[in-house]
Structure 1
Amino acid sequence: MPRRHWKTSLISILVATSHLINNTLNVTGRARLADFGISRQLNMGQTTLYTISAGTKCWKARETLDEDSGIGYKRSTDIQVAGMLMYYIISGGHHPFGKGIHCEMNIFQGKYTLEHVDDEVTRDLIEWMINEEPEKRPTVEDTLAHPYFWAEERRVEYLRKIGNEKEAENCRKSDPRLLHALDQCAEGRSFTNWKSKMPPELMDKLDGKKKAYPDNTLGLLRFIRNLHEHYTEDADSVDMMTMFPDLFGCVYKFAKKMEWNSRSSLKKMFHREDVRY
């Protein structure tokens, strides 16, 4: 199964079964799902189900650990446990809330670690899913629309759109505070001093004597935008995602922090119906 389809299938399975799963993976790494004993189908329009406490130790959502809370099981309850399972699978068997007697207390207190997953986009999604506050977790649609599931072409499209924002358009006269913040984000990344890593003939063609693109992250984003906008054939010959594997994650997290992703020019990319896998 192609990786993009595997990702989609994984989260669909996790959301559907969440805390009802045991024996999640067998020794060969294949998914094995079992124990649907407390599975319930909610009626149309129903968002909450009140039952006695149920579930597997260390695989319960925060709100279900407090039997006196009266919160009940919600769809967001499944999302938190699905996030735990995603981390467990991707990290190779680690629980975000630890193990042993402290695990459920950590779930209740919202104390977690994602140290066994390096990818920023993956961490961003899991952190959202395991949020201790049910109302702050994503819906199933939000989860599937997250950039973790985006195909490579869509990630490049996102970088192109960022490169068309006013900050990148004015990359040669950028606010020093913005550049400093970006430099901190980009420190030690694969795209540091990006101009020296590009094919020389391509840099001569686009940059030339004018030196239109500064050797920083905004300059690279504007370069990507213009490359795809005006030099389509040249763009097809350069694999930016392989050349700079950590560029997308860094830019996405920075844009999120700066609230650029909520701009009208970008927010549509995060709608479920518009996502291509």
Structure 2
Amino acid sequence: MTKYVTGRARLADFGISRQLNMGQTTLYTISAGTKCWKARETLDEDSGIGYKRSTDIQVAGMLMYYIISGGHHPFGKGIHCEMNIFQGKYTLEHVDDEMTRDLIEWMINEEPEKRPTVEDTLAHPYFWAEERRVEYLRKIGNEKEAENCRKSDPRLLHALDQCAEGRSFTNWKSKMPPELMDKLDGKKKAYPDNTLGLLRFIRNLHEHYTEDADSVDMMTMFPDLFGCVYKFAKKMEWNSRSSLKKMFHREDVRY
């Protein structure tokens, strides 16, 4: 990796790189690359290796972790590194951010077909601006589960409570500006002091009280809310719903 004159990072050293022809998805050749920086499917040097775009994705995930963690390899170091790559044994202990971990885990998956494409990678929430993250929370707050936050399924609430335990948004109502709560939290329709209640509150705040919404920085107030909600929605497969799916399209990414 080198630094361009504009100050932006650039990848370098493409000595063994090849450009695939239009419609070509795989290049068969002998194993090549730097020790500990090869994708799992290229480690068998005695067989013809099929290099695909997913091959580069796994190595890019390793490099991403190395840079963000300050020099640590997700598959360890020394003689065990390549064996760990082959067996899919990794650790991301040197990175705390949930979105970073989520993307890297996806990229370094031992199964090539389960890794993201380049477009999937760039559309991942790790690259989303704060404005887009708030938009996502608003959309989640518009889903039926949040709309029915006052009479939610106890099993759903329990699962969310486990996800939210010890987070910054626990008892969120006490952390909001009192005048804002007085305005939105009517006596007959008080918001539950749980995650679904907060998501519905965010939705209504941005939908009906635009000026007040502009004065509240949810991402600063609750820095771990987005990561928790995204991971939970992913687990519940909410992100594949038509109302949310567009958020993850490459053309929607904001730089």
> If the length of structure 1 is used for normalisation, what is the TM-score?
0.88
- Deviation digits for residues 128-180 of structure 1 (CA, Å, limit 9, x no counterpart): 00000111100000000000001111100000000000000000100111000
> Measured at CA, do residues 145 and 228 of structure 1 come closer, stay the same or move farther in structure 2, by a change above 3 Å?
same
Equivalent-residue separation in structure 2 for 1:53 and 1:204 (angstroms): 66
Shift of 1:42: 0.9
Residues in 2 aligned to 1:29 and 1:66: alpha-carbon distance in whole angstroms: 38
Question: Alpha-carbon deviations, 1:192-251, whole Å to 9, x = none?
Answer: 000000000000000032352000000000000000000000000000000000000000
- RMSD over aligned CA atoms reads 2.1
Residues 130 and 31 of structure 1: CA distance in aligned 2, closer, same or farther (over 3 Å): same
CA contact (8 A) 1:186 1:217 kept: yes
Count of aligned residue pairs for this structure pair = 254
- Partners in 1 of 2:75 and 2:8 — Cα distance? 24
Q: CA offset at residue 52 of structure 1?
A: 1.6
Alignment partner of 1:233: what SS? helix
Shift of 1:34: 3.8
- Residue pair 1:62, 1:132 contacting (<8 A) in 2 also: yes
By how many angstroms is 1:261 displaced? 0.4
2:66, 2:74 within 8 Å by CA — same for their partners in 1? yes
CA distance in 2, matches of 1:261, 1:205: 31
Task: Quote the Cα distance in structure 1 between the aligned partners of 2:158 and 2:59.
Answer: 38
The Cα offsets for residues 28-66 of structure 1, whole Å up to 9 and x where unpaired, read as: 998574422101111111111112211001000000001
What is the TM-score with the length of structure 2 in the denominator? 0.95
> Do the aligned partners of 2:86 and 2:110 also contact (CA within 8 Å) in 1?
yes
Q: Of 216, 232, 247, which residue of structure 2 is paired with 1:254?
A: 232
Give per-residue Cα distances to partners, 1:108-140, cap 9 Å, x unaligned: 000001111111111110000000011110000
**Is contact 1:63-1:69 (8 Å) kept?**
no
User: Is 1:266 equivalent to 2:244 in the alignment?
Assistant: yes
Report % sequence identity.
99
2:167, 2:224 within 8 Å by CA — same for their partners in 1?
A: yes
CA contact (8 A) 2:54 2:117 kept: yes
Residue-by-residue CA offset, 1:73-101 (whole Å, 9 max, x unaligned): 11100000000000001111110000000
